[in-house]
Amino acid sequence: MYKYWFAFLLLIIISLKTDSKSIKKETIVGKVVAITDGDTFKLLTKDSTLIKVRLADIDCPERKQPFSKRAKQFASDAVFSKTVTLNVLKKDRYRRYISHVIYDDSLSLSHELIKNGLAWHYRKYSNDSLLQALEDEARTNKVGLWQDQNAIAPWVWRDLQKKKSKE
């Protein structure tokens, strides 16, 4: 019973959240046909359009970073070959649909990744207090990547990689 109330509350919070930088919001339903990494996948819409989706508000470990494969596997187990609902916030410069993704009728993929310690709340682009609370709980309980005392956020890791390539 608690699980259903929590899921219902999450859906309400997601639907009420507004983003002043967003373009016209839309909802898209489609089937997940490929998983790129923990926070990016390809979706085939009902009209056979293939779109690239990037999860909003979170950032999963990059390839070659610890827990990257686990994040990708988690996303695959959760949504691959399933019909999901995208609540699109905007398109980014790479033409990816930045979206909240709902699967299995009520689960948020972003929330599930954070709860399982497989992603960071991307506070630079999000002030979602629920995501932050989920991350704080995962950190406290040393779930997933939080087992590593020196876990490096993906945006920091990307910056370090850029600096290395310039040397």
Residue at 102 is within a domain: yes
**Residue 3: per-residue pLDDT:** 56
The enclosing domain of 51 has a CATH number of 2.40.50.90
> Would you say residue 117 lies in a domain?
yes
In a domain, 14, yes or no: no
89, exposed or middle or buried, with CB in 10 Å at 0-12, 13-18, 19+?
buried
| Overall domain count for the chain | 1
Distance, C-alpha 155 to centroid of its chain: 14
**Residue 159: pLDDT over 70:** yes
User: Does any domain span residue 11?
Assistant: no
Q: Is residue 72 part of a domain?
A: yes
Please say if the pLDDT value at position 144 is more than 80: yes
pLDDT digits (tens, 9 = 90+) for 19-48: 434 456 899 999 999 999 999 999 999 999
On whether the CB atoms of residues 86 and 27 are closer than 8 A, the answer is yes
Cα(20)–Cα(7) distance, integer angstroms: 25
Q: Residue 162 has what pLDDT?
A: 87
Domain hosting 127: range is: 24-166
4 within a domain of the structure (yes/no): no
The catalytic residue positions are 54, 62, 96
| Mean pLDDT, residues 47-52 taken together | 97
First-to-final CA distance of the chain? 56
Give the whole-angstrom CA distance, residue 116 versus residue 149. Answer: 16
Taking the whole predicted model, whether its pTM rises above 0.75 is answered as yes
**Structural domain includes residue 9:** no
d(C-alpha 38, C-alpha 120), whole Å? 11
Q: Identify whether 146 is part of a domain.
A: yes
Alpha carbon distance 60, 121 (integer Å): 9
Report the distance separating Cα 6 and Cα 106, nearest Å. Answer: 9
Q: What is the mean pLDDT of the chain?
A: 89
Phi-psi region of 71 (alpha: psi -120 to 50; beta: other; left: phi over 0): alpha
Is the pLDDT confidence value at 69 over 80? yes
The string of pLDDT tens digits covering residues 71-104 is 999 999 999 999 999 999 999 999 999 999 999 9
